[in-house]
Amino acid sequence: MNDDSSAAVVADSLRKELNRFPAGARLPSSRTLVERFGVSPVTVSRALAALAAEGLVVTRPGAGTYRAAEDAGRPRTVDTSWQQVALTAEDPDAAPRVVDAAGVLATLAPPPPGVIAFTGGYLHPTLQPERALGAALARAARRPGAWERPPVEGLTALRAWFGREAGVGPAQVLITAGGQAALTTALRALAPPGGAVLVESPTYPGALAVARAAGLRPVPVPVDAEGVRPDLLADAFAASGARVFFCQPLFQNPTGAVLAAGRRRQVLDIARAAGAFVVEDDFARRLGHGGPLPSPLIADDPYGTVVHVASLTKPTSPSLRVGALIARGPVVERLRAIQVVDSFFVPRPLQEATLELVGAPAWPRHLRAVAAALRERREAMLAALRHRSPALVPAAAPAGGHHLWLRLPDGADETALAAGALRAGVALAPGRPYFPAESPAPFVRVTFADTSGPEEITEGVRRLALALAGESVGRLG
């Protein structure tokens, strides 16, 4: 059991015992609690801090910990019924704002105990560069001026680092608090209120959530094994009047497709002819499984059509929320203004730590280790599917990313399957939230990055096969 879970156990136990102490009474000493629970002083300190944050106890340095007043930690009951009117009373001519975070939360919520997570959107803790991150943060904290206010655009050295891959200078780069924040800023900056935004179909649910929360109207453009279909993209621009197209040309989420070389120029030309921007979400740039990668779309764009989103969160840690917005032309100032209004700037210590991380000799070694680990996990999942559920094996294995997109048999109920899989001990994501309109077929997305390795993946697929058999029996019956 780690320190955080141990602290939670101690806090829960003390919380249940607080009624034994009158208000203002002193609780047992930290030394007594250490001996009683058999934990470290740090664990006891964390448990008491949690109770103090809830207003249940008061800690007095040098004197001990005391139970708080009777009503200190008790939440106040208020009538919030009026908010149901305020949150829905909008201009009837405007597109409704729909704030639905379910698709995003599905990748953030930890599974119940004993459940294998085929839903995680980040690397398993054993694959995260925890030691390198700790060392980078420690070195960054000692840098002169590390705690001073950074430029609102971000540190020049970090902007230059992100810009090199895109073929631009630091003046075209803004540092953001991760890829999701960058995407939010981009869509708010580029799409008119109530307007349409073209998206790949299927696509990343977080993009759909951002668009709808901003009052925008997502319009689907179907993808196939070679990425978005240019013929349908041109039709969608003409029919919708959209001025923004959101896409993931590299290891698309959820299909894993890479935009074919012959389509790259077509996409840029179609968008330019429509007077529109292409928002390129390059989230998987450092999640390849080995082998050469195509350059970002922005590197082939001399006209300022592409607004590029980059992030270091996926190949490192969920808590390293550092990304970048890269663009050419006046749009940079629009992006900068919106980011400043929203969040001022990314904390300087985090930017300094990122520079330390990507500049260390361990960085390229880490990326090679991630590529090998993802490749191993992908092959383990494919092998297990061939053994247990060969009908689910995709026609082509993705060459990067952290998931597989599985087409279910016609008539399958993906929601029922996900529920049955959870009962069987494996969590997966139904495909419906990935489509901005009606889904053409049943799908599920299964991730392999947030697993401990092939053994856990093999067991998870076994449980999935049992759930699929149960769903089929229920449907036929």
Q: What is the pLDDT of residue 272?
A: 92
72 or 163, higher pLDDT: 163
222 is a domain residue: yes
Q: What is the pLDDT of residue 185?
A: 93
Domain termination residue (choose one: 336, 358, 380): 358
Asked whether the predicted pLDDT for residue 473 surpasses 60, the reply is no
Stretch among 15-29, 68-82, 96-110, 130-144 having the lowest mean pLDDT: 68-82
Banded pLDDT at 63 (limits 50, 70, 90): confident
Is 269 found in the same domain as 184? Answer: yes
111 is a domain residue: yes
Asked whether the predicted pLDDT for residue 54 surpasses 90, the reply is no
Are 153 and 335 in contact, with CB atoms under 8 Å apart?
A: no
Q: What is the pLDDT of residue 113?
A: 85
83 is a domain residue: no
Q: Which two tokens stand for residue 89?
A: 């009373």
CA atoms within 13 A on the CB side of 423: 11
Q: CATH number of the domain that 109 lies in?
A: 3.90.1150.10
Is 318 found in the same domain as 390? Answer: no
Is 330 found in the same domain as 400? Answer: no
Q: Which two tokens stand for residue 435?
A: 């489509």
Q: How far apart are CA 428 and CA 252, in angstroms?
A: 18
List pLDDT tens digits, range 267-303.
999 999 999 999 999 999 999 999 899 999 999 998 8
Mean pLDDT of the chain: 88
Amino acid at 137: L
Banded pLDDT at 117 (limits 50, 70, 90): very high
93 is a domain residue: no
Q: What is the pLDDT of residue 89?
A: 57
Banded pLDDT at 246 (limits 50, 70, 90): very high
118 is a domain residue: yes
Is 301 found in the same domain as 162? Answer: yes
Domain of residue 449, residue span = 102-126+364-476
Q: How far apart are CA 455 and CA 451, in angstroms?
A: 9
Does the pTM surpass 0.85? The reply is no
Q: What is the pLDDT of residue 61?
A: 78
Q: How far apart are CA 355 and CA 132, in angstroms?
A: 12
Which H or E run includes 462? helix 454-476
Q: What is the pLDDT of residue 404?
A: 96
355: alpha, beta or left, given left = phi > 0 and alpha = psi -120 to 50?
alpha
Q: How far apart are CA 132 and CA 267, in angstroms?
A: 39
Are 202 and 254 in contact, with CB atoms under 8 Å apart?
A: yes
72 is a domain residue: no
Banded pLDDT at 83 (limits 50, 70, 90): low
| pLDDT-above-90 percentage for the chain | 59
Banded pLDDT at 110 (limits 50, 70, 90): confident
Are 355 and 371 in contact, with CB atoms under 8 Å apart?
A: no
Range among 62-66, 400-404, 466-470 rated most confident: 400-404
Is 429 found in the same domain as 444? Answer: yes
- Residue 263 CB neighbour total at 10 angstroms: 17
**Domain count within the chain:** 3
Are 169 and 160 in contact, with CB atoms under 8 Å apart?
A: yes
Domain termination residue (choose one: 308, 343, 358): 358
Is 309 found in the same domain as 160? Answer: yes
Q: What is the pLDDT of residue 257?
A: 96
Is 262 found in the same domain as 240? Answer: yes
Beta partners for residue 175, in sequence order: 324
Are 258 and 250 in contact, with CB atoms under 8 Å apart?
A: yes
Beta partners for residue 65, in sequence order: 59
Asked whether the predicted pLDDT for residue 76 surpasses 60, the reply is no
Using CB atoms within 10 A of its CB, is residue 341 exposed (0-12), middle (13-18) or buried (19+)? Answer: exposed
Residues written for the chain = 477
Q: CATH number of the domain that 19 lies in?
A: 1.10.10.10
Is 392 found in the same domain as 331? Answer: no
Asked whether the predicted pLDDT for residue 156 surpasses 90, the reply is yes
Stretch among 24-38, 65-79, 450-464 having the lowest mean pLDDT: 65-79
Is 469 found in the same domain as 375? Answer: yes
Supply the DSSP symbol for 111.
P
Mean pLDDT value across residues 181-191: 92
Q: Which of 121, 246, 145, 217 is nearest to 436 (CA)?
A: 217
Is 396 found in the same domain as 324? Answer: no
Domain termination residue (choose one: 328, 358, 388): 358
Amino acid at 30: S
Q: Tell me the three state secondary structure of residue 224.
A: strand
238 is a domain residue: yes
> For the chain, what is the radius of gyration of the CA atoms?
25
Q: Which two tokens stand for residue 448?
A: 């392999």
Q: CATH number of the domain that 141 lies in?
A: 3.40.640.10
List pLDDT tens digits, range 423-439.
999 999 999 999 999 88
Q: How far apart are CA 199 and CA 238, in angstroms?
A: 14
Is 311 found in the same domain as 425? Answer: no
Say if strands 116-117 and 429-430 run parallel, antiparallel, or are unpaired.
unpaired
Q: Which two tokens stand for residue 275?
A: 């007077």
Using CB atoms within 10 A of its CB, is residue 233 exposed (0-12), middle (13-18) or buried (19+)? Answer: buried
181 is a domain residue: yes
Banded pLDDT at 476 (limits 50, 70, 90): very low
Q: What is the pLDDT of residue 264?
A: 95
List pLDDT tens digits, range 336-386.
999 888 888 889 999 999 999 999 999 999 999 999 999 999 999 999 999
Are 2 and 42 in contact, with CB atoms under 8 Å apart?
A: no
Nearest 5°: CA angle at 316, between 312 and 322?
A: 30
Banded pLDDT at 249 (limits 50, 70, 90): very high
Q: Which of 301, 294, 256 is nearest to 279 (CA)?
A: 301
**Runs of H (alpha helix) within 241-391:** 261-273, 331-343, 348-358, 362-388
Is 377 found in the same domain as 447? Answer: yes
Buried b / exposed e along 437-469 (16+ C-beta atoms within 10 A): eebeebbbbbbbbbbeebebbbebbbbbbbbbe
